[in-house]
Amino acid sequence: MTEDVVIPASELTERFSRSSGPGGQGVNTTDSRVELSFDVAASAALPQWLRDRALQRLAGRLVGGVLTITASEHRNQLANRAAARERLAVVLRDAVAAPARSRRPTRPSRAAKERRITDKKRRAQTKRLRRGDLD
């Protein structure tokens, strides 16, 4: 998942079912659709602080603490298994990423304020000249 955290295959659960879409006659007989489940709440691979962050950020996607990823875009099971694992890694990497640093408020400098006022006056003068009013 990340450089520091690796999820062992024993913590992943895969279910296979028939996929919709192209595949001809074989689509009715092969179980190419993959549902990959990972129990975030009970995982021993994640440290407690990462687990808490993941549970909080993935709250809308979890059902009983379990994250489920479905892949059925490929016609064979092996490719769908790889796609599901890749998607799981991306979702978890985003969930446990460090929060973005908050913006430190700053104020414009005096020179910036003066440039802004000068530009506004120049623009107003241009518009005044277009109207034909000479004040």
Please check whether residue 76 is in contact with residue 39, taking contact to mean a CB–CB distance below 8 angstroms: no
Which residues are CB-neighbours of 7 under 8 A, at least 6 positions away? 1, 38, 43, 45, 46, 92
pTM score > 0.75 for this model? no
- Reference 4, options 41, 35, 50, 42; nearest CA is 50
Please check whether residue 59 is in contact with residue 51, taking contact to mean a CB–CB distance below 8 angstroms: no
Mind listing the pLDDT tens digit for each residue in 10-19? 888 888 888 7
The pLDDT assigned to 133 comes to: 62
The pLDDT assigned to 22 comes to: 65
